[in-house]
């Protein structure tokens, strides 16, 4: 390890890995957003709300199963599915009739949804802060990189991120549905003309995208207070990541999330007083030189 530290100091390395674990959550949420944006052309502002609902559902499920580790693992399975179910209802009941409308209409509709979801969450869960405990095996920290403490839960996130990325890659590249979805993103009418039920494909993509928002919400829950308003903060970051990476490009979302997470954590190391500005500075720089995003946009 000493050889590594001579190139990169332990402090920087540790900070990088902290940034990477943040990247995981940003990537999971942003990939769902970009998937929907790429295939369905819906700028889903309610994506953040679904992330919030995922976190709140995780709280309830954890409580139902005794509030311990078992509760969290159940939440990891159930909560994203619950969010997927909500999105399925929204898609079948509302969005499927509106795909032909212009983007502004869809933007307004999803914004309306975000307001409705926000109030629903307040009605169901109330205004109090909620907290999901970290599962037992991930409590505390491990001394990593020159003895600097690294939270165990963040290690778990570091594993979860690549797993989701690989599953998404398999889904979009190796399954029939993924291929149809990619084709539909390019030319919807043509896909319909060869006899494929585009509506069903769209519904599936929408539900998968929202499932990812819910998954992000569950994964973030043990590290933060689950509260109203957590949607607003995230949706802005998620959109910036999606724009930075190239609209509709999942690998763009990964790249954007990496840039966002790493500039934030390393920025704090360089200049803690103004660490806040580095990720946004990165967005500005990227858009100055690549106005359509780093990778190929599907739009």
Partner 1 sequence: MKKTVFLSTSLVFFVGLLMVCPLAYAQNAIKVGIVDTYTGPATTFTMDVLDGFKLAVNEINAKGGVLGKKIEYATRDEKFKPDIGLAMAKELVLKEKVDILMGTINSATALAISDFAKKEKLPFFVTFSKSEKIIGEKGHQYVFNMNENTAMVGKAAAVALAKKPYAKYWIAGDDYEYGHAIADSLWNHLKKMKPQIQKVGESWWKVGEADFTPYITQILAAKPDFIIVATGGAGMVNFQKAAKATGLSQKIPFYQHTAIELSVLKPQEQNAPEGVFGTANYFFYYPDTPSNRAFVDEYKKAYNREPRIGALSGYMTARFIAEGYKKAGKIDKEALIKALEGMSLDSPVGPMAIRGCDHQLELPMYFGVTKKDPKYNFFVAGDIQVIQAKDYMPTCDEVIKSRK
List residues near partner 1 by CB under 8 A.
Answer: 11, 14-15, 18-19, 21-22, 25, 67, 118-119, 122, 126-131, 133-134, 139-141, 148-154, 220, 222-225, 227-230, 232-234, 264-265, 268-269, 272-276
Query: CB of 265: closest distance to partner 1 in angstroms?
Result: 4
| Between 52 and 203, CB nearer to partner 1 | 52
| Between 99 and 141, CB nearer to partner 1 | 141
| Measured distance CA(149)–CA(142) in Å, rounded | 6
Query: Residue 225 forms beta bridges with which residues?
Result: 131
Query: CB of 177: closest distance to partner 1 in angstroms?
Result: 32
| Between 48 and 178, CB nearer to partner 1 | 48
| Between 19 and 293, CB nearer to partner 1 | 19
CB 35 within 8 Å of CB 50: no
Query: CB of 169: closest distance to partner 1 in angstroms?
Result: 26
Structure tokens of 264?
A: 């934030």
CB 229 within 8 Å of CB 87: no
Structure tokens of 81?
A: 């599915």
| Measured distance CA(295)–CA(109) in Å, rounded | 28
| Between 143 and 162, CB nearer to partner 1 | 143
Query: CB of 32: closest distance to partner 1 in angstroms?
Result: 17
Query: CB of 21: closest distance to partner 1 in angstroms?
Result: 7
**Which residue pairs from 6-13 have beta carbons closer than 8 angstroms and sit at least 24 positions apart in sequence?**
10/145, 10/146, 10/147, 10/148, 11/145, 11/146, 11/148, 11/269, 12/266, 12/269, 13/145
């Amino acid at each position: 390890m000493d050889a590594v530290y001579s190139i990169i100091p332990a402090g920087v390395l540790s900070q990088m890995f902290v940034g990477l674990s943040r990247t995981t959550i940003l990537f999971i949420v942003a990939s769902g957003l970009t998937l929907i944006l790429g295939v369905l052309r819906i700028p889903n502002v309610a994506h953040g709300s679904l992330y919030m609902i995922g976190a709140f559902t995780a709280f309830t499920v954890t409580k139902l199963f005794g509030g311990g580790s078992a509760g969290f693992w159940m939440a990891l399975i159930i909560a994203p599915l619950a969010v997927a179910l909500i999105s399925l209802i929204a898609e079948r009941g509302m969005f499927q009739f509106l795909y032909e409308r212009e983007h502004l209409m869809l933007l307004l509709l999803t914004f309306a949804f975000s307001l409705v979801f926000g109030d629903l969450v307040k009605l169901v869960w109330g205004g109090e802060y909620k907290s999901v405990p970290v599962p037992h095996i991930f409590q505390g920290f491990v001394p990593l990189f020159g003895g600097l403490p690294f939270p165990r839960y963040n290690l778990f996130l570091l594993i979860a991120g690549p797993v989701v990325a690989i599953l998404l890659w398999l889904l979009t590249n190796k399954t029939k549905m993924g291929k149809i979805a990619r084709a539909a993103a390019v030319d919807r009418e043509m896909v319909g003309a060869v006899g494929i039920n585009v509506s069903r494909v769209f519904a599936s993509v929408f539900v998968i995208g929202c499932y990812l928002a819910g998954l992000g919400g569950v994964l973030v829950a043990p590290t933060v207070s689950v509260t109203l308003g957590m949607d607003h903060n995230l949706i802005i970051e998620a959109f910036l990541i999606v724009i930075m990476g190239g609209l509709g490009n999942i690998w763009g979302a990964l790249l954007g999330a990496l840039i966002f997470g790493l500039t934030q954590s390393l920025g704090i190391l360089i200049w803690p007083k103004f660490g806040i500005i580095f990720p946004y500075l990165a967005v500005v720089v990227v858009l100055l030189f690549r106005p359509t995003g780093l990778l190929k946009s599907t739009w």
